[in-house]
Amino acid sequence: MSKPQIFKTPSEMNAWSKAALRDGHAVGLVPTMGALHDGHRSLIERARTENDRIVVSVFVNPTQFGPNEDFHNYPRTFDKDLKVCAATNVDALFAPETKDMYGAHARTWVDVGGLSDTLCGLSRPGHFRGVCTVVAKLFNIVRPDRAYFGRKDAQQLRILQAMTRDLNFGIEIVPCDIVREKDGVALSSRNKHLSPEQRKQARSLSRALEHCRQRVAAGERDAMKLVGEMTEAIQKQPDAEIDYIQMVDADTLKELEKLKGSVLVALAVNIGKTRLIDNMELNV
Amino acid sequence: MSKPQIFKTPSEMNAWSKAALRDGHAVGLVPTMGALHDGHRSLIERARTENDRIVVSVFVNPTQFGPNEDFHNYPRTFDKDLKVCAATNVDALFAPETKDMYGAHARTWVDVGGLSDTLCGLSRPGHFRGVCTVVAKLFNIVRPDRAYFGRKDAQQLRILQAMTRDLNFGIEIVPCDIVREKDGVALSSRNKHLSPEQRKQARSLSRALEHCRQRVAAGERDAMKLVGEMTEAIQKQPDAEIDYIQMVDADTLKELEKLKGSVLVALAVNIGKTRLIDNMELNV
């Protein structure tokens, strides 16, 4: 256990990375918005096994939040995050302020077409543009060999894979499995916002996915039928409001009528004011 | 004089660049669409004085041409370009094919807002999005310390400066002065398309700029008046059709009514079917 070096500005972070590169070190980047939980920890531990140096970035990126979303309310727990990074032997913690990431005249956007206008992209217009832009910036600042992203953000993962390939970043995107609580709820920084009663209701997401998995294992292939059953189960929760439940092709994110091949079952549900997402991949 | 190494794929080019970087060499990139002339040559020579290794890219980028523009007709003179690169001691010539730069599923765009929707951006929608996207790709493939661009493409230069800053590329953009023929015509690969008679008419662009410079030196500050005089002079040419003549703030590209501070006088004129641009900067 050793405290990471903390960098507050892109130029300081970049200087460290350049030196690591010159010394022939492989660098792994774990981009986060902080409020680190065991899901992030699993990304860091995976990165630790595959690289010589690990950078964790903690930046609540304003450009990926809509005007009515929870940017100001997003959990910020820097001291705790620092402890997690120390416990996992992170080498460098990049924690810039907004003003150092976005100058007054910032006007450049990175956009991935086709994959961004479905699922979360529909209810969060501009969200993935903000994600791509900040990740492109982080990639240039840190110049990692590998970058680690969770499968919980399934659409984000695919969009960032496309961006990395299309813009020739030369960075390996490493997808990491969803980490769940014992009762099946996927770890999320936003789970903090749930009341104890809402936390119970949140189980309905992973349970609906599990129900779907069993139904598919038993031979069901009709997407509308499966979505209907999942909808019914989740709607029983008094505070649940479904944003979407969809069965899409895992590569193209195009909606499926009949389940076939590599399928992503994805859902987004508001529990009270807290928006939760979850998903699973099936090979049908 | 030594023949450059030629690379046809992004991965080959990138491997060379990574090795140069590891060896501690400073790399200069001169991105071009080929049909190299003395303007390009001046960029290469400037790069030669400031870097250990020089990369010239030759790629006629389809995504920066509109459907009715001259992509198919754009001059391609690879053997001659190779000689220019050999004569100027270029180390690496990157000449990819379209299929190796844009995969079948390419869907990512880099866009600079605010600076792209004026001057050439108005008559060439999508042009600067294509330029930014391909330059971002080249930057990632070559990872140069410095990149060299001509001032003739004044709007492109400012847009790429903004992109490089906003996305934290950490690359120095080096603007290089316009190179002109003896009669004042700015060098351009497209000049090849002009008939001898049209080539004479092309002089009207730089002459109008020179007229403007003298009028401003004599105290004129009224943009509309100056544009009117330039318009009148150019319109006398039988094959000339003006796209725009504008006086804008050299940083923001916002149109000016009264000339003040750092001013960019920019114009685009079709001579027959050939679109020519030219400009000058004035400190008023």
Torsion angle of the four alpha carbons B5, B11, B14, B19, in this order, in degrees rounded to the nearest 10: -80
pLDDT band, very low/low/confident/very high, at B30 (cuts 50, 70, 90): very high
Instruction: Kindly report the nearest CA distance between residue A140 and chain B, in angstroms.
Output: 5
User: Percent of chain B beyond pLDDT 90?
Assistant: 98
| Helices B127-142 and B154-166: angle between axes, nearest 10 degrees | 50
Of residues A24, A106, A132, nearest to B166 (C-beta): A106
pLDDT band, very low/low/confident/very high, at B237 (cuts 50, 70, 90): very high
Of residues B14, B114, B115, nearest to A170 (C-beta): B14
Given a cut of 80, whether residue B13 has pLDDT beyond it is: yes
Mean pLDDT across the stretch B254-281? Answer: 97
Mean pLDDT across the stretch B161-175? Answer: 98
| Cβ-Cβ contacts under 8 Å, B105 against chain A | 162
Cβ within 8 Å, pair B167-A114? no
pLDDT value of residue B47: 98
Largest CA distance in chain A: 57
Mean pLDDT of the residues in chain B = 97
Of residues B112, B132, B140, nearest to A169 (C-beta): B140
Cβ within 8 Å, pair A137-B168? yes
Task: State the sign of the Cα–Cα–Cα–Cα dihedral A212, A215, A221, A225.
Answer: negative
Say yes or no: A141 contacts chain B, CB-CB below 8 A. yes
**Of B25, B37, B40, B211, catalytic:** B40
pLDDT band, very low/low/confident/very high, at B212 (cuts 50, 70, 90): very high
Q: Write the DSSP string, chain A.
A: --PPEEE-SHHHHHHHHHHHHHTT--EEEEEE-S---HHHHHHHHHHHHH-SEEEEEE---GGGS-TTSSTTTS---HHHHHHHHHHTT-SEEE---HHHHS-TT--EEEEETTTSSSTHHHHSTTHHHHHHHHHHHHHHHH--SEEEEETTSHHHHHHHHHHHHHTT---EEEEEPPPB-TTSPBP-GGGGGS-HHHHHHTHHHHHHHHHHHHHHHTT--BHHHHHHHHHHHHHTSTTEEEEEEEEEETTT--B-SB--SEEEEEEEEEETTEEEEEEEEEE-
Cβ within 8 Å, pair A163-B108? yes
pLDDT value of residue B79: 97
Tell me which residues of chain B, numbers 51 to 90, contact chain A at a CB-CB cutoff of 8 Å: none
Q: Which two tokens stand for residue A196?
A: 């104890």
Residue B113, C-beta contacts closer than 8 angstroms, at least 6 positions apart: A107, A108, A109
Residue type for position B1: M
Which of A127, A95, A124 has the alpha carbon at shortest distance from A30?
A95
pLDDT value of residue A107: 96
pLDDT value of residue B160: 98
pLDDT value of residue A95: 98
Mean pLDDT across the stretch B214-243? Answer: 98
How far is it, in rounded angstroms, from Cα B80 to Cα B246? 35
Tokens 């994110």 label which residue? A253
Q: In terms of CA atoms, which chain A residue is nearest residue B112?
A: A108
Cβ within 8 Å, pair B111-A108? yes
| Cβ-Cβ contacts under 8 Å, B165 against chain A | 103
**Of A25, A37, A40, A105, catalytic:** A40
The residues pairing with B240 across neighbouring beta strands, listed in sequence order, are B271
pLDDT band, very low/low/confident/very high, at B2 (cuts 50, 70, 90): confident
pLDDT value of residue A268: 98
Instruction: Kindly report the nearest CA distance between residue A38 and chain B, in angstroms.
Output: 30
Given a cut of 90, whether residue B1 has pLDDT beyond it is: no
Q: Which has the minimum average pLDDT: A116-120, B87-91, B147-151? A: A116-120
Of residues B105, B110, B115, nearest to A110 (C-beta): B110
Given a cut of 90, whether residue B201 has pLDDT beyond it is: yes
Say yes or no: B97 contacts chain A, CB-CB below 8 A. no
| Cβ-Cβ contacts under 8 Å, B140 against chain A | 167-170
SS3 label, residue B22: helix
Tokens 């100027």 label which residue? B88
pLDDT value of residue B268: 98
| Cβ-Cβ contacts under 8 Å, B169 against chain A | 140
B37 among known catalytic residues: no
Cβ within 8 Å, pair A108-B110? yes
Q: B57, B166, B253: which to substitute to probe chain A, counting the most A Cβ within 10 Å?
A: B166
Instruction: Kindly report the nearest CA distance between residue B165 and chain A, in angstroms.
Output: 8
Say yes or no: B106 contacts chain A, CB-CB below 8 A. yes
Cβ within 8 Å, pair A107-B112? yes
Structural domains of chain A, with CATH: 5-176 (3.40.50.620), 189-279 (3.30.1300.10)
Of residues B21, B109, B141, nearest to A113 (C-beta): B109
Tens of pLDDT along B31-83?
999 999 999 999 999 999 999 999 999 999 999 999 999 999 999 999 999 99
Residue B83, C-beta contacts closer than 8 angstroms, at least 6 positions apart: none
Cβ within 8 Å, pair A170-B140? yes
pLDDT value of residue A22: 85
Of residues A14, A22, A132, nearest to B170 (C-beta): A14
For chains A and B, CB pairs below 8 A equal 82
pLDDT value of residue B282: 98
Say yes or no: A111 contacts chain B, CB-CB below 8 A. yes
pLDDT value of residue A142: 98
Q: Please tell me what DSSP assigns to residue A90.
A: -
Do residues B28 and B49 make contact, with C-beta atoms less than 8 angstroms apart?
no
Q: Are strands A172-176 and A146-150 parallel, antiparallel or unpaired?
A: parallel
Say yes or no: A15 contacts chain B, CB-CB below 8 A. no
Mean pLDDT across the stretch B156-183? Answer: 98
Cβ within 8 Å, pair B140-A166? no
Helices and strands (H and E) in chain A: how many = 10, 10
Q: In terms of CA atoms, which chain A residue is nearest residue B137?
A: A167
SS3 label, residue B68: coil
Give mean pLDDT in consecutive 10-residue pieces for chain A, a chain of 284 residues.
Answer: 93 96 94 97 98 98 95 96 97 98 96 94 96 98 98 98 98 98 97 97 98 98 98 98 98 97 98 97 97
Do residues B101 and B135 make contact, with C-beta atoms less than 8 angstroms apart?
no
pLDDT value of residue B177: 97
ipTM: 0.96
